[in-house]
């Protein structure tokens, strides 16, 4: 099925963007942002046995309505033929490659699959795009979701000149994807820009990433729905920003005269312990009373300290983050406290099924 909303009417709107990974955290914010800019947005979604469109359902409209800004296409980064077909159908002006097996710890358990989606998937998309551009005779701009994980063991502050020292199968695959993107830019003159984004979070963050795991647990503990929170390395430091700010930088990168790579970050770093402290104290709780360490959440090799320097993005893109650390924590805790309240109501009414899968990440 090419489009689960409606037939594409390319005459109706301005620029067309294709987003891989539209059902993820960043994909949902980017889709919102591009729609607000007047884009016709197309997203690639995977076929799953239960719905995976929670994060974009609010953008989804009645299929019988015309002039829809959002179109969804079944596809997968492991399926090059499908990607080619989608490109031909959508005829995009911009492609945002956000799809990935994006969990670092999981990448140690599924290294081949991670390489297949993150590294090979990017290569498949670049190849499909190269051929499409030749046949269509048009330039299509592509954004590649690179990651601060690529810096790994390189000491902070990290910027565009910092050497890569990846510490996980995920990070190695992102480095490969980064170099594929750069090579296609140099070899074929393609407009491909990689955004080296540091960790960015939101109320839509996957629940097995540490920030959301903490905000969900703290609020559930406050509501009496959970007793303990099990975590791994509390000493790791991350440069955490707000995803809604970061998707604007992705778009800005594709509006430049020349394709270039940019580090996107806040320039401020905090440990997992500090995130815990901020979250729990906002709820008038002492995290030390509820947190236990579980070895299963440690990685075979860790990234200890990420703190970026986004000077280039500030100067050339005019981009700077709008949400600071405290505001980010507050936003996530406020959101998850509402969820916990809803869970409590269900539990009191005897309809509560229990929390899903938090133990996995």
Shortest Cβ 85–ligand G4F spacing (Å): 28
Residues 169-228 that bind ligand NAP (CB under 6 A): 197, 199-200, 206
What is the three-class DSSP state of 228? coil
Shortest Cβ 139–ligand G4F spacing (Å): 28
Of the candidates 205, 2, 181, which has an alpha carbon nearest to the alpha carbon of residue 96?
Answer: 181
145 binds, among ligand NAP, ligand G4F, none (CB under 5 to 8 A by kind): ligand NAP
Shortest Cβ 121–ligand G4F spacing (Å): 14
76 binds, among ligand G4F, ligand NAP, none (CB under 5 to 8 A by kind): ligand NAP
Residues 74-113 that bind ligand G4F (CB under 6 A): 102, 104-105
For ligand NAP, which residue of 98, 133, 225, 229 counts as binding (CB under 6 A)? 98
Angstrom distance (rounded) from CA 111 to CA 66: 43
Angstrom distance (rounded) from CA 235 to CA 232: 9
φ, ψ of residue 311 in degrees (nearest 5) = -55, -45
Q: Which tokens in the block code for residue 58? A: 């609010």
Q: Of the two residues 117 and 199, which places its CB atom closer to ligand G4F in the complex?
A: 199
* Active site residue ranges: 147, 149, 170
Of the candidates 73, 164, 171, 167, which has an alpha carbon nearest to the alpha carbon of residue 118?
Answer: 171
Kindly report the number of other CB atoms within 10 A of residue 176's CB atom: 18
Count of residues engaged in binding ligand G4F, rule: CB under 6 A: 24
Angstrom distance (rounded) from CA 272 to CA 277: 9
Q: Are strands 141-147 and 192-197 parallel, antiparallel or unpaired?
A: parallel
**Candidates 71-79, 119-127, 158-166, 226-234; binding stretch for ligand G4F (CB under 6 A):** 226-234
Of the candidates 80, 324, 301, 338, which has an alpha carbon nearest to the alpha carbon of residue 220?
Answer: 338
Residues 31-60 that bind ligand NAP (CB under 6 A): 44, 46, 48, 52
> Are 159 and 316 in contact, with CB atoms under 8 Å apart?
no
Residues 163-222 that bind ligand G4F (CB under 6 A): 198-199, 208-210, 213
Kindly report the number of other CB atoms within 10 A of residue 166's CB atom: 21
Q: H/E element holding 200?
A: strand 200-201
Residues 21-60 that bind ligand G4F (CB under 6 A): none
268 binds ligand NAP, rule: CB under 6 A: no
Q: Of the two residues 25 and 225, which places its CB atom closer to ligand NAP in the complex?
A: 25
Binding site for ligand G4F (CB under 6 A): 102, 104-105, 147-149, 198-199, 208-210, 213, 231-233, 236, 238, 272, 297, 299, 302-303, 306, 361
């Amino acid at each position: 099925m090419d489009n689960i909303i409606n037939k594409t009417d390319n005459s109706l709107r301005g620029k067309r963007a294709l987003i891989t990974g539209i059902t993820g955290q960043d994909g949902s914010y980017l889709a919102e942002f591009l729609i607000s800019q007047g884009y016709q947005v197309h997203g690639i979604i995977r076929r799953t046995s239960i719905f995976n469109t929670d994060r974009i359902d609010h953008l989804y409209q009645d299929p019988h309505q015309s002039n829809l800004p959002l179109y969804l296409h079944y596809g997968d980064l492991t399926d090059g033929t499908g990607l080619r077909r989608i490109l031909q159908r959508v005829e995009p002006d911009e492609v945002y490659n956000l799809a990935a097996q994006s969990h670092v710890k999981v990448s140690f358990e599924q290294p081949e699959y991670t390489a297949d989606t993150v590294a090979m998937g990017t290569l498949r998309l670049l190849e499909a795009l190269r051929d499409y551009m030749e046949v269509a005779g048009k330039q299509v701009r592509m954004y590649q979701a690179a990651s601060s994980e690529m810096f790994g063991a390189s000491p902070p502050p990290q910027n565009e000149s910092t050497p890569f020292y990846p510490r996980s199968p995920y990070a190695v695959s992102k480095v490969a994807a980064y170099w594929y993107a750069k090579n296609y830019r140099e070899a074929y003159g393609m407009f491909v820009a990689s955004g080296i984004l540091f960790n960015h979070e939101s109320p839509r963050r996957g629940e097995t990433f540490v920030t959301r795991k903490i905000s969900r647990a703290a609020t559930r503990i406050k509501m009496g729905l959970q007793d303990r929170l099990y975590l791994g390395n509390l000493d790791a430091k991350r440069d955490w920003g707000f995803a809604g700010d970061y998707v604007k930088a992705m778009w800005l990168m594709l509006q430049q005269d020349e394709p270039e790579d940019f580090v996107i970050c806040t320039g401020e770093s905090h440990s997992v312990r500090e995130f815990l402290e901020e979250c729990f104290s906002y709820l008038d709780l002492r995290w030390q009373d509820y947190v236990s360490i579980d070895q299963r959440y440690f990685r075979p090799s860790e990234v200890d300290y990420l703190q970026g320097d986004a000077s280039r993005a500030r100067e050339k893109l005019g981009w700077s983050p709008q949400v600071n650390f405290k505001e980010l924590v507050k936003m996530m805790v406020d959101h998850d406290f509402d969820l916990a309240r809803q869970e409590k109501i269900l539990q009191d009414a005897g309809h509560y099924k229990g929390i899903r899968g938090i133990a996995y990440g």
